[in-house]
Amino acid sequence: MLLDLVVSVLAAGAWIASALVRNRLLVSFAIAATAARAVTVALLAGSGWWFVQDKVTLTLPLLLAFAVVAMVRRTPTAYLAAGYAALAGPVFTLLHGYPATWTSGLITVALVGGGATLTARVRGATRLRAAAVASATVLMVGVVLSFVAASSTVDPLGTVSLSSLRGPDSPVPGGTVRRFDLTARQATVTLASGATVRAWTFNGQVPGPPLTAAVGDLVEVTLHNADIAGGADGRSASSRGGVTLHWHGYDVPVAEDGVPGLTQDAVAPGESFVYRFRADRAGTYWYHTHEVSNEGVRMGLYGSLVVTGSAPSPAGVDLTLPLHTFNGSTVVGASDVVECRSVVPGTTVRLRLINTDNTPRVVGVVGSPVRVAAVDGTDLNEPDPVEEAGLRIAAGGRYDVTFTMPDRPVALRIAHSSSGLSFLPPGASVAPSADVGSWPVLDLLHYGHPAATPFGAGSRFDRSFTLVLDRGLAGTSYAYTVNGDAFPDVPTEVVRQGDLVRFTIVNRSQDIHPWHLHGHRVLVLSRDGSAPTGSPLWLDTFDVRPGEVWQVAFRADNPGIWMNHCHNLAHADQGMVLHLAYEGVRSDFHGAHGG
């Protein structure tokens, strides 16, 4: 790639220099660099480089065409034009990226052609009308095409209305109804360290009240909004400010999913909304607002949702600990300092860690081996104890970490943070410490033991989608993009109920993208081509790191229209969002909203 970039720049420089100084050697060098560019592109294509498409279909042919003209005509103008064409390669790759489309292709051709024409004009050439008209026409076609490009988010003709897909209103026989009231309001919260934060809260606290239920229960949450009007970003009519509740990782019926403009309207100050769903799977989840969530979650509109199995859980310490950054310091659970707890040796301790930030967090347990018992709510198969392992939790992800209290102190520590939690046996007062950020990170793809899964890499998939995550020009903004487009221009992925669906997610950018599909958990098939060797991994949020290629699969068994987005909510806000829609379902709301 680097070589390709270098020869492009050399070719551009040599062609332009040839126009300025008369030197046969320079021209030969420009020709050689152009030929070298053809070789580097061929090498990239031959070695399976994912992003060679724009070079093969657009920028290399453009360069070769102008180079041939330059070699035939041997005029300074032709040399300059070849230079522009050579420059178009790296500029296109850096600014636009993969994939080259008709729109971006035509605009590039028009700019190079227009540049050449203009250069000729400046250098005194005449009879350029045809060239000018051609460039302008190509440019216009490209621009017009960009406006007619896919801008659909939902199927307006579906016969099933999304709002009919609500949760049930009774528990399963034997279950109970768990009622909660959450009132969103602004408050000044005093943390354990004495620091105060201006926060957006549920019931005046951060995190919001922990919600718990047992499998079989009906969860009924009434959301009120006292005074959260913020969030209205003024960019779309549907963004009217307010709050919603999204049950992150919990596969509720779509009308309960809390996406403003898609599954409901945001709840404005003075309004309320009732969410109902059955607790049908045990595990650690969380809830958060989805109205301009980048701001709302950061300000404090989040809390935990823990569902326990129907069997009584073994006695022990069971702590739910969302990790959240306020004003640069980490709040673990509800505390921004190291809290101490006294625990009797032999007690089972379970820490339910939830990363509510936009970037991954590394945590570690000092003083005891631990098992990662569950990730994103799903138990891992036969997790082995690990010691001094950095546990890297994706933004939005959850790790359930367990250990048996030894007769010495144990500590939960968080990289780049002075917050944490210490567990002290009776009589002890000092907890161990360590720089857990320097520990080797546990790779979940090689942790635990294999087990049967309902489908796998060898299955026949009814649908396969590829999502290339990048950053670049989309329309008029420099956005976080999916396949070169930003929300709402990323085409909706359409599936049928019952389909087995495969996603290939490729990160072409320099940022980590924690990918999150609403309404479904996905099974990891591979990362960079290698399958997991440990426990099956069912995730709802997974980090696709720069350069990585992930393949995941899921069964389309929850009809609706679902958000599919990056859970770095700042990236989502800048375009990295699309929808997954079931055939036949239509939204009753009219906002093309990314939440």
Rounded to whole angstroms, the maximal C-alpha distance in the chain is 95
Among 518, 521, 555, 593, binds ligand C2O (CB under 6 A): 518
Nearer of residues 288 and 361 to ligand C2O, judged by Cβ:
288
Q: Which does 371 bind (CB under 5 to 8 A by kind): Cu ion, ligand C2O, none?
A: none
324 binds Cu ion (CB under 5 A): no
- Smallest distance, ligand C2O to C-beta of residue 579, A: 11
Count of residues that interact with ligand C2O, criterion CB under 6 A: 10
Q: Which does 555 bind (CB under 5 to 8 A by kind): ligand C2O, Cu ion, none?
A: none
Distance CA 501, CA 483 (A): 18
Residues in Cβ contact with 129 at an 8 Å cutoff, skipping those fewer than 6 apart? none
Torsion of CA 135, 140, 141, 143, to 10 degrees: 120
Distance CA 114, CA 116 (A): 5
Distance CA 267, CA 202 (A): 13
246 binds ligand C2O (CB under 6 A): yes
Among 508, 565, 571, 593, binds ligand C2O (CB under 6 A): 565
37 binds ligand C2O (CB under 6 A): no
Nearer of residues 153 and 568 to Cu ion, judged by Cβ:
568
398 binds ligand C2O (CB under 6 A): no
Q: Which does 513 bind (CB under 5 to 8 A by kind): Cu ion, ligand C2O, none?
A: Cu ion
Question: Which residue number is nearest to ligand C2O in terms of Cβ?
Answer: 248
Q: Give the Å distances, CA to CA, from 330 to 96, 337, 415, 433.
A: 36, 8, 10, 17
Nearer of residues 396 and 448 to ligand C2O, judged by Cβ:
396
Nearer of residues 206 and 482 to Cu ion, judged by Cβ:
482
Q: Which does 267 bind (CB under 5 to 8 A by kind): Cu ion, ligand C2O, none?
A: none
Q: Which does 566 bind (CB under 5 to 8 A by kind): Cu ion, ligand C2O, none?
A: Cu ion
Distance CA 508, CA 510 (A): 7
474-533 residues in contact with Cu ion (CB under 5 A) are 513
- Smallest distance, Cu ion to C-beta of residue 395, A: 9
Torsion of CA 281, 173, 222, 538, to 10 degrees: 10
566 binds Cu ion (CB under 5 A): yes
The identity of residue 370, as a single letter, is: V
248 binds ligand C2O (CB under 6 A): yes
Distance CA 367, CA 389 (A): 11
Nearer of residues 501 and 569 to ligand C2O, judged by Cβ:
569
Residues in Cβ contact with 91 at an 8 Å cutoff, skipping those fewer than 6 apart? none
288 binds ligand C2O (CB under 6 A): yes
Question: How is residue 332 written in tokens?
Answer: 């673990």
Number of Cβ atoms within 10 Å of the Cβ of 524: 20
End-to-end CA separation in angstroms for the chain: 36
Distance CA 239, CA 234 (A): 7
DSSP per-residue codes, 406-424: -SS-EEEEETT-S-EEEEE
- Smallest distance, ligand C2O to C-beta of residue 362, A: 20
3-state secondary structure of 45: helix
Q: Which stretch binds ligand C2O (CB under 6 A): 222-230, 488-496, 524-532, 563-571?
A: 563-571
Nearer of residues 139 and 517 to ligand C2O, judged by Cβ:
517
The identity of residue 267, as a single letter, is: V
Angle at CA 322, nearest 5°, toward 258 and 266?
A: 20
Give the rounded distance of the alpha carbon of 143 from its chain centre.
29
Q: Give the Å distances, CA to CA, from 501 to 99, 462, 506, 556.
A: 22, 6, 16, 7
Q: Which does 518 bind (CB under 5 to 8 A by kind): ligand C2O, Cu ion, none?
A: ligand C2O
Q: Which stretch binds Cu ion (CB under 5 A): 340-348, 386-394, 536-544, 563-571?
A: 563-571
Among 77, 103, 117, 568, binds Cu ion (CB under 5 A): 568
Distance CA 585, CA 157 (A): 8
245 binds Cu ion (CB under 5 A): no
Nearer of residues 83 and 296 to Cu ion, judged by Cβ:
296
Q: Which does 571 bind (CB under 5 to 8 A by kind): Cu ion, ligand C2O, none?
A: Cu ion
563 binds ligand C2O (CB under 6 A): yes
Q: Which stretch binds ligand C2O (CB under 6 A): 38-46, 221-229, 475-483, 560-568?
A: 560-568
Residues in Cβ contact with 131 at an 8 Å cutoff, skipping those fewer than 6 apart? 113, 116, 117, 120
Question: How is residue 263 written in tokens?
Answer: 């599954």
Nearer of residues 409 and 594 to ligand C2O, judged by Cβ:
594
Nearer of residues 138 and 331 to ligand C2O, judged by Cβ:
331
Q: Which stretch binds ligand C2O (CB under 6 A): 114-122, 170-178, 198-206, 561-569?
A: 561-569
Nearer of residues 37 and 567 to ligand C2O, judged by Cβ:
567
3-state secondary structure of 275: strand
Among 298, 392, 571, 579, binds Cu ion (CB under 5 A): 571
Do β-strands 283-288 and 246-248 pair in parallel, antiparallel, or remain unpaired?
antiparallel
Number of Cβ atoms within 10 Å of the Cβ of 582: 25
Distance CA 321, CA 231 (A): 26
Q: Which stretch binds ligand C2O (CB under 6 A): 35-43, 191-199, 461-469, 562-570?
A: 562-570
Q: Which does 563 bind (CB under 5 to 8 A by kind): ligand C2O, Cu ion, none?
A: ligand C2O
Q: Which does 565 bind (CB under 5 to 8 A by kind): ligand C2O, Cu ion, none?
A: ligand C2O
The secondary element (H helix, E strand) that includes residue 362 is strand 361-366
- Smallest distance, Cu ion to C-beta of residue 565, A: 8
The secondary element (H helix, E strand) that includes residue 538 is strand 538-539
- Chain residues binding ligand C2O by CB under 6 A are 246, 248, 288, 290, 396, 516, 518, 563, 565, 567
- Chain residues binding Cu ion by CB under 5 A are 513, 566, 568, 571
